[in-house]
Amino acid sequence: MAAFVEVSGLEKTYDDGFQALKGVDLEIREGEILALLGPNGAGKTTLISALCGITTPTGGTARVGGHDIEAEYRAARSLVGLVPQEIALEPFEKVINTVRFSRGLFGKGRDDALVEKILRQLSLWDKRTNQIKELSGGMKRRVLIAKALVHEPRVLFLDEPTAGVDVELRRDMWEVVEGLRQDGVTIILTTHYIEEAEAIADRVAVIAHGEILLVEDKAALMQRMGRKSLRIDLVEPVEAVPESLSDYELWKSPDGQSLTYTYDTNAERTGIARLVRELTEAGLVIRDIQTSQSSLEEIFVGLVKEDAA
Amino acid sequence: MNFLAIAAIYRFEMQRFFRTLLQSFVSPVISTSLYFVVFGAAIGSRIDQVEGVSYGAFIVPGLIMLSVITQAISNASFGIYFPKFIGTIYELLSAPVNFLEIVIGYVGAAATKALFIGVVILATSALFVDVEIQHPGAMVAFLLLTCISFALFGFIIGIWAQNFEQLQLVPLLIVTPLVFLGGSFYSISMLPPFWQTVTLFNPVVYLISGFRWAFFGQADVSIGLSLLAIAGFTALCLFLIWRIFRTGYRIKS
């Protein structure tokens, strides 16, 4: 599949010197759902803001649908819909007017049938003539989604769409997302809820401290989840995994202080005993050993922690 | 040009105006009536004609200018400040629009509202005094230019302001005094020579003088100078707005 959103070396340094993005490279394929995971302050929102034109990147480039987000901002932005994290809506405006406004702003002619379809899909049709200030928080979030969809974007950014949202809205939202996926819309979703990423994403990207740490197919990650991992802490850090142990496909932590061996618990032989013996033969001194069932959440937390160290 | 976007912004802004139509209509009518009672009837009865025009009629152009300038600034500054304040500016920034389209939408709506107020005041004035307009074309042109240029100025204030106090600061501290001292209620020929000279540094003098010329064919300064002043002011505001959007000043990090 072709990359629909191409980000290369994207940087953002704020005026106060804070570097929110440190050369982000990311390719998002057409029609996929990519979950962007990361702790608070990792740069998720900054990345989305830069791609949508809300902040100006200080380095690197990005293209949406082949259009440079700065030089060809009109073509690029026409393709993009954004559901922001914070609820920001004109309180005195009527629901239907603010949705129509969004469509016009993106240069699309009035389309009452589409507006009705989207409002019905999000259970907002009955509230269409209400002022926004009369709506509950969940309803306001629905309005934000309707505004982002009404200009028929090809890429949709959902920035923490389910933060503080009730079960019903979550279900409605995933229905909408599923419908969009069937229409071939590319979706980028940031979230704190890892189970959510597990449930709907095709691929997962992890960002921390302004850097992408990992982009991987969810299926591959899920496979890892069905496995156990054995973490071996070493007394002396290693530069590289010794050649003699290459069969084990050990994963070395960036500081070289520990090695992780993942193994299939269902296999006849796990190879643990042999690994420990061969480690000792290779001259490595083991300080501690721990095993764990790795989940996406653990992989995520582990990556973020190591990056911080 | 993204004309649909301009239309969307303009319509959205005008909807705000229509929501508060009664206030928008009633308050200028009342304030104009008050000015006529106080300046026209109470004080005006003791003043003879000014340059051959009755005092009541003489203050009409100044009254219109006073309200139009204030309204253009407050509507435009609020129009762009509010999205910044509540966060909806994200949508403008992420839309495929350029600065000119945003400005035409917001400033166009603010200027329309100011124009509406100006017409209401003119109509109210006609109830109190005989209003004659010698150069209707010039009158309309001056009125339009004033609406547009001060709406542009208000737009700049709205972007510059970081809180509601700052939003009021410039209109209150600079614009209102300049308008009051710009000959709204008197001819600058009534001032001592020294103050006449000082007054010439007040840009609003050129506007009111030109506007009054359109009504009565008399002006404190030449009509050419008046046109030059308002054209220069418009150009300056446009340049500043262009700079603002190039640098992202206070709207984009």
Residues of A in contact with B91 (CB under 8 A): 82, 88, 102, 105, 147
Q: Please tell me which of the candidates A15, A76, A109 has its beta carbon nearest to residue B4.
A: A109
Is it the case that residue B41 has pLDDT exceeding 80?
no
Which stretch of A220-224, A230-234, B167-171, B185-189 has the lowest confidence by average pLDDT?
A220-224
Q: 10 Å Cβ neighbour count for A48?
A: 24
Domain A227-293 CATH (choose: 3.30.70.1560, 3.30.1490.190, 3.40.640.10, 3.40.50.1820): 3.30.70.1560
Pairwise CB contact (< 8 Å): A92 & B19: yes
3-state secondary structure chain B: CCHHHHHHHHHHHHHHHHHCHHHHHHHHHHHHHHHHHHHHHHHHHHCCCECCECHHHHHHHHHHHHHHHHHHHHHHHHHHHHHHHHCCHHHHHHCCCCHHHHHHHHHHHHHHHHHHHHHHHHHHHHHHCCCCCCCHHHHHHHHHHHHHHHHHHHHHHHHHCCCHHHHHHHHHHHHHHHHHCCCCCCCHHHCCHHHHHHHCCCHHHHHHHHHHHHHHCCCCCCHHHHHHHHHHHHHHHHHHHHHHHHHCCCCCC
Q: H or E element: which one contains A83?
A: strand A80-83
Pairwise CB contact (< 8 Å): A86 & B4: no
**Residue A61: predicted pLDDT:** 96
- How many Cβ contacts (< 8 angstroms) between chains A and B? 85
Is it the case that residue A231 has pLDDT exceeding 70?
yes
Q: Please tell me which of the candidates B11, B90, B98 has its beta carbon nearest to residue A88.
A: B90
The superfamily in CATH containing domain A3-221 is P-loop containing nucleotide triphosphate hydrolases (3.40.50.300)
Q: H or E element: which one contains A291?
A: strand A286-293
**pLDDT tens digits, one per residue of B194-209:** 888 888 888 889 999 9
**Residue A240: predicted pLDDT:** 85
A227-293 shares the fold of A3-221: no
**pLDDT tens digits, one per residue of A132-175:** 999 998 899 999 999 999 999 999 999 988 777 788 888 888 88
Residue A30 near residue A7, CB atoms below 8 Å:
no
Helix A296-308 and helix A218-225, axial crossing angle in degrees, nearest 10: 100
The order of strands in the sheet holding A286-293 is A251-252, A258-263, A228-234, A286-293
Q: Please tell me which of the candidates B11, B94, B252 has its beta carbon nearest to residue A56.
A: B252
Q: Rounded to a whole number, what is the distance in Å from the CA of B9 to chain A's nearest CA? A: 7
Which B positions 170-189 lie with beta carbon below 8 A of chain A?
none
3-state secondary structure of A60: strand
Top residue of B91, B92, B99 to mutate, by most chain A CBs within 10 Å, is: B91
C-alpha distances out from residue B176 to B69, B73, B106, Å? 9, 11, 22
Q: Where are the domains of chain B?
A: 3-247
Residue of chain B whose alpha carbon sits nearest to that of A46: B253
Residue A262 near residue A251, CB atoms below 8 Å:
yes
**pLDDT tens digits, one per residue of B193-252:** 888 888 888 888 999 999 999 999 888 888 899 989 889 999 999 999 999 888 878 877
Mean pLDDT taken over chain B:
89
Q: CA A213: distance to chain centroid?
A: 12
Q: H or E element: which one contains A179?
A: helix A167-182
Region class of B105: left (phi > 0), else alpha (psi between -120 and 50), else beta: alpha
Q: Rounded distance, CA A179 to CA A193, Å?
A: 21
Burial of A136 (0-12, 13-18, 19+ CB in 10 A): exposed
**pLDDT tens digits, one per residue of B17-28:** 888 888 878 888
- pLDDT-based confidence at residue A99 (cuts at 50, 70, 90): very high
Tell me whether A107 touches chain B (CB under 8 Å). Answer: yes
- Scanning the structure block, which residue is given the tokens 């299939």? A264
Pairwise CB contact (< 8 Å): B86 & A14: no
- pLDDT-based confidence at residue A294 (cuts at 50, 70, 90): low
Is it the case that residue A128 has pLDDT exceeding 80?
yes
Is it the case that residue A201 has pLDDT exceeding 60?
yes
Top residue of B6, B92, B94 to mutate, by most chain A CBs within 10 Å, is: B94
Q: Where are the domains of chain A?
A: 3-221, 227-293
Is it the case that residue A1 has pLDDT exceeding 60?
no
Pairwise CB contact (< 8 Å): B8 & A105: yes
Q: Please tell me which of the candidates A15, A89, A107 has its beta carbon nearest to residue B88.
A: A89
Share of chain A above pLDDT 90, in %: 53
Tell me whether A102 touches chain B (CB under 8 Å). Answer: yes
Pairwise CB contact (< 8 Å): A101 & B94: no
A228-234 vs A258-263, strand pairing mode = antiparallel
Q: Rounded to a whole number, what is the distance in Å from the CA of A28 to chain B's nearest CA? A: 19
Residues of A in contact with B2 (CB under 8 A): 74, 107
For A80, phi then psi, to 5°, come to -110, 135
Tell me whether B162 touches chain A (CB under 8 Å). Answer: no
Tell me whether B22 touches chain A (CB under 8 Å). Answer: no
User: Nearest to residue A135, comparing CAs of A174, A170, A96?
Assistant: A96
Q: Rounded distance, CA A121 to CA B166, Å?
A: 42
**Residue B33: predicted pLDDT:** 87
Which B positions 56-95 lie with beta carbon below 8 A of chain A?
82-83, 86-88, 90-95
Residues of A in contact with B16 (CB under 8 A): 92-93
Report ipTM for this prediction. Answer: 0.88
Q: Rounded to a whole number, what is the distance in Å from the CA of B200 to chain A's nearest CA? A: 42
Between B74 and A191, name the one with better pLDDT. Answer: B74
**pLDDT tens digits, one per residue of B92-133:** 999 999 988 999 999 999 999 999 999 999 999 998 888 889
Residues of A in contact with B96 (CB under 8 A): 73-78, 106-107
Residue A22 near residue A13, CB atoms below 8 Å:
no
Between A252 and B139, name the one with better pLDDT. Answer: B139
Q: Please tell me which of the candidates B5, B82, B248 has its beta carbon nearest to residue A105.
A: B5
- pLDDT-based confidence at residue A271 (cuts at 50, 70, 90): confident
Top residue of A45, A73, A79, A105 to mutate, by most chain B CBs within 10 Å, is: A105
**Cα first-last separation, chain A:** 36
**pLDDT tens digits, one per residue of A12-66:** 999 899 999 999 999 999 999 999 988 888 899 999 999 999 999 999 999 999 9
Tell me whether A56 touches chain B (CB under 8 Å). Answer: yes
For chain A, what is the total number of helices (H) and then of strands (E)?
10, 14
Residues A63, A67, A72, CA angle at the centre, nearest 5°? 115
